[in-house]
Structure 1
Amino acid sequence: MMTLIKPLNSDLYTPRYYIVAESDTLSESKAKAQDSKAIVYRLPRAREVGQSWTKVPWNMICALMVSIRIILKTMPDLILCNGPGSCIPICMAAYLVRILGIRKQRIEIIYIESFARVTSLSLTGKLLYFFVDRFIVQWNELIKKYPKAEYHGILV
């Protein structure tokens, strides 16, 4: 994600909020190293790697509650997300703002599928495909299966 946003004009796209999983210290340090004005929020993961699926509903509710607070506090114009399931509760919170009409201007959501997904979507991609405003893939093969997807070549 940091490679994708690096060329964006920081004067036009400000403030920037970065949302990272609670257990992800590397992403936070990268955001702060690349953007001196970085505002970082931590979000509980809906599911840790290897965690039992029985704990996912509770974890997802917790992540969604934190996401709602973040979205209501920041009211972003755009959410740019990729890959990890951590972006699902953030997108859900933004969609909730739309449905409830809390903000006149809708929060645009752009999802960028992982470069590693060549022939099929990730679970996160499958869940968000119908709800995001723009769905970007990095392999031409995917637009044949997913007509809503946009292909702009390899982005990273």
Structure 2
Amino acid sequence: MLQMMKGLDPARYQPRSYIIADTDALSKEKAKMQETNFGSSADQYAIHRIPRARHVGQPWATVPWSLAKAVLQSATVFFRQMPDLYLGIKAIQIIYVESFARVHTLSLTGKILYYFADEFIVQWPQLSQRYKRAKYTGILI
């Protein structure tokens, strides 16, 4: 996401909000670095932390509860901010970019959003052949 944001005009899209997992310190630092590169002050962006929808190795039986908690907190941030651009009730389009690491099958998030996203982008041609709505645009990173 941060790579794709480099093409945006920071003056047009402000304030900016980042929604990251509460256990993801690296993404927080990368978002701060991105804003430093934009020359932003602290009032031009916010970093919101939410619980992860699913932890690696988490039992599947507990996923619905952790997912519901993450969705609820994300929705709260979303509706407070009402963004003009959402990277995925102002004529918003959901654009989903599947992970570069997903070569043969979609991630769980991809499998869910495949049916809801206005544009579904994959980074490997094999996935666009397997999933008809998926668009292969090359490697984005």
TM-score by length of 2: 0.85
Please tell me whether the aligned partners of residues 77 and 108 of structure 1 are also in contact (alpha carbons under 8 angstroms): no
Aligned residues: 134
How many Å separate the matches in 2 of 1:106 and 1:7? 21
Q: Which runs of no fewer than 5 residues in structure 2 stay unpaired?
A: none
Please tell me whether the aligned partners of residues 31 and 38 of structure 1 are also in contact (alpha carbons under 8 angstroms): no
Select the residue among 49, 53, 76 that pairs with 1:69: 76
How many Å separate the matches in 2 of 1:140 and 1:18? 30
Shift of residue 33, structure 1, vs aligned partner = 1.3
Please tell me whether the aligned partners of residues 114 and 120 of structure 2 are also in contact (alpha carbons under 8 angstroms): yes
State the identity %: 51
Name the SS of the counterpart of 2:138 in structure 1. coil
What code does the residue aligned with 2:30 have?
Answer: K
Please tell me whether the aligned partners of residues 52 and 67 of structure 2 are also in contact (alpha carbons under 8 angstroms): yes
Shift of residue 13, structure 1, vs aligned partner = 2.8
How many Å separate the matches in 2 of 1:4 and 1:150? 16
How many Å separate the matches in 2 of 1:21 and 1:47? 10
Q: Which runs of no fewer than 5 residues in structure 1 stay unpaired?
A: 82-102
Q: Could you say which residue in structure 1 is the equivalent of 2:104? A: 119
The answer on 1:152 being equivalent to 2:137 is yes
The answer on 1:78 being equivalent to 2:85 is yes
TM-score by length of 1: 0.78
Name the SS of the counterpart of 2:94 in structure 1. strand
Shift of residue 128, structure 1, vs aligned partner = 0.5
How many Å separate the matches in 2 of 1:110 and 1:75? 17
